[in-house]
Amino acid sequence: MLDNKQVESLPSSLISWVEEVRKRTKPDKVYWCDGSGEENKELTNLLTSEGKWIKLNERKYKNSYLYRTQKNDVARVEDRTLICTDSEEEAGPTNRWMKKEKAFKMMWDLFNGAMKGRTMYVVPYLMGPENSDFSQVGVEITDSAYVVVNMRILTRMGNVAVNELKRKKKYVRALHSTGDLSLENRYICHFPDEWLLMSINTEYGGNAVLSKKPHALRIASVAAREEGWLAEHMFLLEVENKKRNKKYYISGALPSASGKTNLAMINPPSDFKDFYARTVGDDISWLFVGKEGELRGINPENGFFGVAYGTGPSSNPNILDSLKKNTIFTNVALNPKTNEPWWEGLSEPPETLYDWTGAEWHPGSERSAAHKNSRFTTPLKQYPFKSQAYKDPKGVNLSLILFGGRRSSLIPLVYEAKSFEQGILLGAMTRAETTAAQSGSTGVVRSDPMSMLAFCGYNMGDYFKHWFDVAKRIKTPPKVFNVNWFRKDEKGNYTWPGFSENFRVLKWMIDRVDGKVNALELPIGFIPDIKDLDLKGLNIGKDKLKELFYFDKKGWLKELDEVKVFFKKFEKHMPDELWNEFNKMYKNVQEY
């Protein structure tokens, strides 16, 4: 806990806000978090003794816990996530909007007395490396000890942030209460003008751990627009080639539960002996134009909030050891015999499990044992394949950017933009199938530009314009690619094996960056000449490869028509540059 002297050294605006929140929410006590190990132990023990979570097998999963959320509180709720500004136009046609004053009043009414009988935790946190001009600070007030222990893993929390608070001019204020978890009164409100967040009646990650999407994307995207940088839903990966004596930094946007964590932790196939892949970040990147006109990136986070379901030896072997200590599991299954967590993809299922709701479960059951959006919260620091660059205050210099999404047909395995500007179009025209990471139906194709549909804090038309404005300042633009690991054959099986085999595609991209290989031109961009894809040791038929790169002119025209309908929604906010790129591509496809 911070002592009085430390608290008194904080900005007076912060102290008075905390006092206002205390008066309105009426907690039993106020606890200022310092982020120390002892404090974390205290909170951890409290959660265990109150029966809020289950301590796992200490020998197999040291200092790790299983948390079960309420059944109606398992994912982000996009229809209850509001951008609250003066005018609806500022939020744009893809966000849900509420007038600032109205939202403010509604939220204060809901927060009135919300913390009665509870402790109010005040959590200073830092997003990004220490002593970095690119980092931001925030303070989250919450009545959930579960949120606090998650924040301690996912951000740099407590004393470090207190120091940075003294240095930074602005900070984000984030207020959260578990409330009564009622769905009808669940709201996640964003006040970008004030750098203010208010969230109530939910405890799920991205709704309640406000440092994540609410701060690091929705508020940060607005700040980024004002200050000339980009806040993106992107992983950040380091690839080293020992033979070429070179490091490549790759950032990529894929929609929620669509492969960012997996790609950020990729394990190159055994044939790729000269290559090493290391993680800088797995979910969010902040990108800046450097002094030499290069595009740089940092990971604002300090840990991973990854999808557990499907994570295992064949998809992501690299993370498995990390999950055996200091990890919080949310909504996975439990083996009651061994007190170990379990989820689909980890191993053969044991004979008896408690599923994510706590009900008994046996193999062969129709429902899954772990929730499809079950998650692990685990520190970056203990991940063995991390890049040391994650704590570099200057960030890393990007060699290439990729965009993509889940598409069972049409979109090739990989294609390359002919210019950075066309690359912005590739990002903007991304359409992808929905997943379990947001509530609602899954597998529905929708536009998800730059995988930011749910995370852009302002009018997306202006966001596209902002990308072009930033592009003008970049002197050495990274190459831009689009990928699709998710094409399916007529039987519904994935055509491409994916996971570590995706490294073969990354290798081609790197060869393109280094000018080592030529490519074939399609009206939408460049695709690989198959001979340049290193497929040694991979058992994949010629017909499958052909399918992965087949150009379906009619399908593309239909796709572009749908993209056009989406783009038109932005009316005058849509930048001419994007229409130009779009029209060029449309014409190329028509004439092909």
Task: Name which of 144 and 256 has its Cβ closer to ligand SPV.
Answer: 256
Shortest Cβ 358–ligand SPV spacing (Å): 22
Contact pattern for ligand GTP over residues 423 through 442, marking x by CB under 6 A: --------------x-----
| CA 207 vs CA 198, 379, 455: distances in Å | 10, 20, 12
Q: Is 283 in the site for Mn ion (CB under 5 A)?
A: yes
Return the amino acid letter for 473.
Answer: R
The residue within the footprint of ligand GTP, chosen from 34, 283, 416, 559 (CB under 6 A), is 283
Distance CA 332, CA 204 (A): 14
- x/- track of binding to ligand SPV for residues 419-438 (CB under 6 A): ------------------x-
Answer for which of 95, 201, 258, 331 binds ligand GTP (CB under 6 A) is 258
Chain mean position to CA 162 = 25
Give me the least distance between CB of 436 and ligand GTP, in Å please: 9
Out of 80, 212, 215, 431, the residue judged to bind ligand SPV by CB under 6 A = 212
Give, as ranges, the residues between 473 and 492 that touch ligand GTP (CB under 6 A): 485-486
Q: Which of 394, 360, 356, 359 is nearest to 375 (CA)?
A: 356
Whether residue 379 contacts residue 323, with contact meaning beta carbons closer than 8 Å, is answered with no
From residue 69 to residue 108, the character string flagging contacts with ligand SPV as x (rule: CB under 6 A) and all else as - is -------x--------------------------------
Work out how close the CB of 535 gets to ligand SPV at its nearest, in angstroms, rounded to a whole number: 31
Chain center to CA of 502: 19
Residues 250, 398 contacting (CB under 8 angstroms): yes
Task: Determine the Cα–Cα distance for residues 350 and 355; give it in Å rounded to an integer.
Answer: 12
Q: Is 205 in the site for ligand SPV (CB under 6 A)?
A: yes
The distance of closest approach from Cβ of residue 24 to ligand GTP in the complex, given in angstroms and rounded to an integer, is 33
| Kind and range of the H or E run holding 335 | strand 333-335
Residue with Cβ nearer ligand SPV (2 or 224): 224
Q: Which listed range, 7-15, 206-214, 312-320, 459-467, lies at the site for ligand SPV (CB under 6 A)?
A: 206-214
Nearest to 155 by CA among 315, 300, 55: 300
Smaller CB distance to ligand SPV: residue 123 or 578? 123
261 binds ligand GTP (CB under 6 A): yes
DSSP letter for 485, please: S
Alpha carbon of residue 567 to chain centroid: 24
The region of 127-135, 248-256, 462-470, 519-527 touching Mn ion under the rule CB under 5 A is 248-256
Site for ligand SPV in 293-312 (CB under 6 A): 305
Toward Mn ion, which CB reaches closer, 285 or 484? Answer: 285
DSSP for 336-377 reads TTTTEEE-TTTSSPPS-EE-TTS-EE-TT-SS-SS-TT-EEE
**Which member of 35, 206, 300, 461 binds ligand SPV (CB under 6 A)?**
206
- How many CA atoms are closer than 13 Å to the CA of 65, on its beta-carbon side? 23
Q: How far is CA 486 from CA 265, 314, 499, 553, in A?
A: 18, 16, 11, 20
Per-residue three-class SS string for 34-90: CCCHHHHHHHHHHHHHCCCEEECCCCCCECCEEECCCCCCCCECHHHEEEEECCHHH
Q: Is residue 210 close enough to count as binding ligand SPV by CB under 6 A?
A: no
Q: Provide the minimum distance between the beta carbon of 88 and ligand GTP in the complex, in angstroms, as a whole number.
A: 27
Residues engaged in binding ligand SPV (CB under 6 A) = 76, 205-206, 212-213, 256, 283, 305, 437
Residues engaged in binding ligand GTP (CB under 6 A) = 254, 256-262, 282-283, 306-307, 310, 315, 437, 485-486, 494, 498-499, 502
